Structure 1
Amino acid sequence: MKLQGLGDMDNPFSYSVKVGNISANAVRVHLEANEAELKGLAKLWNVLNVRFLKADLQISRWKKDGVRIKGSVEGELSQACVVTLEPVLCKINEQLEQVYVPEGSKLARLMLDGHGEMVVDPEGPDLPEPFTGDTIDAGALVTEFAAMAIEPYPRKPGIEFSGHVEDSGAEIIRPSPFAALKDWKKD
């Protein structure tokens, strides 16, 4: 996870969870960004504005010393249309699940086949994310899953990008670099 461990300057939406206080029974946590956090997220994501961002999470112990965070993220933001630059509404509705284990844990090791190649199941669960110290930033996790749901090229409904012709350069005939030498004669 790229956003974990960043300071408040880099991630405006933060919620620290003390690993030592987590029990086997899931604890429900509701997170909602305040006005300052929404402005910070808009700047971080380079969007016009973030109207709201909230998450309902279940935080529980995983195996012996790991932590599982599971839940949903909802939000709404405005982006500039890539064609007209007018505001486009984007809704976020994502399910998230992430497992954390202490740094150096056997559970976070990559699986290798007999030839030293890494074995990855694209349909399988993600590997546990290592953490250092005694806290995990659940707000950074919510921020990351919300960011992945943002449309990279937003377009207003019914708007098409037309009138642009891509120049492939196929029609340009460039002279040979030796063409200037053809008129040069030896005396």
Structure 2
Amino acid sequence: MPHDMSQSAVLRVADLPQNHATAFHLTPDKAARAQIAEVLGMLGVRKLDFKGMVQTEGKTDWRLEAQLGATVEQSCIVTLEPVVTRIDQPVTRLLVADLPVNLEEEIEMPEDDNQESLGTEIDLLRIMTEALALALPDYPRRDDATLDQSQFSAPGTTPMTDAEIKPFAGLAQLKEKLEKGE
């Protein structure tokens, strides 16, 4: 039976059944999507859907498997115009009861980066927001956006080109002069 998300997006681990999976379906309203967009630095979140299940994994751990669907709006890195991106991605988390957490010593990252520590509650909204943040394009760019070469200089001087700025361009010219015997 799907968990009712109208009340809360938090599942208490003690209330979850041990012998079968608990389904959930989270669809944040417009105000919640606006808050998520603000937190993640986006222009907006048009659609957001997080649907899946939580079930036991062994005696003390829990596995969350879900599908994240979202339509997001970000600023183009070139033109700053809106770029709309559709995200459809599976999300898996293994919530481990005895995950060692020692903040004072260095520890190696586990090979499975989907593991996280299990507390008394499973916050579906946090997991959904984290999965969305990880799925966002790092450099959203419109298909028609082009970055022209820019040249800057003080009035009355010749602007430098990209080739002249390169650190070894001067060495190449010096080498040529030395080879010619100048």
Please give the secondary structure, in 1, of the residue aligned with 2:125: helix
Give the total of aligned pairs.
Answer: 146
* Residue identity in the other structure for 1:138: L
Counterpart of 1:82 in structure 2 is 77
Counterpart of 1:144 in structure 2 is 130
Q: Distance in 2 between matches of 1:89 and 1:58?
A: 28
2:37 matches 1:42: yes
* Residue 28 of structure 1, CA deviation: 1.4
2:139 aligns with one of 143, 153, 160: 153
Identity %: 23
Q: Distance in 2 between matches of 1:26 and 1:87?
A: 40
* Residue 128 of structure 1, CA deviation: 3.0
Q: Distance in 2 between matches of 1:37 and 1:168?
A: 47
Counterpart of 1:25 in structure 2 is 20
Conserved 8 A contact 1:58-1:70: yes
Per-residue CA distance 1:73-120 (angstroms, 9 max, x = gap): 000111111111111101111101101122xx1xx359xxxxxx9585
Q: Distance in 2 between matches of 1:136 and 1:74?
A: 20
Q: How high is the TM-score relative to the length of structure 2?
A: 0.71
Q: Distance in 2 between matches of 1:119 and 1:67?
A: 20
- Structure 1 runs of 4+ aligned residues shifted over 6 Å read none
Q: Distance in 2 between matches of 1:70 and 1:39?
A: 25
Q: Distance in 2 between matches of 1:51 and 1:72?
A: 17
* Residue identity in the other structure for 1:150: L
Counterpart of 2:155 in structure 1 is none
Q: Distance in 1 between matches of 2:25 and 2:109?
A: 36
Per-residue CA distance 1:2-45 (angstroms, 9 max, x = gap): xxxxxxxxxxxx71111012223112111001111111011111
* Residue identity in the other structure for 2:147: F
Counterpart of 1:62 in structure 2 is 57
Q: Distance in 1 between matches of 2:72 and 2:168?
A: 42
Q: Distance in 2 between matches of 1:53 and 1:41?
A: 10
Q: Distance in 2 between matches of 1:144 and 1:93?
A: 14
Counterpart of 2:10 in structure 1 is 16
5+ residue gaps in structure 1?
1-13, 111-116, 174-187
**Higher RCO structure (Cα 8 Å, ≥6 apart):** 1
Please give the secondary structure, in 2, of the residue aligned with 1:141: helix
Conserved 8 A contact 1:22-1:61: no
Query: Comparing 14-23 with 43-52, which one deviates more in the overlay?
Result: 14-23
Greater helix fraction, Structure 1 or Structure 2: 2
Q: Distance in 2 between matches of 1:21 and 1:120?
A: 29
Conserved 8 A contact 1:38-1:49: yes
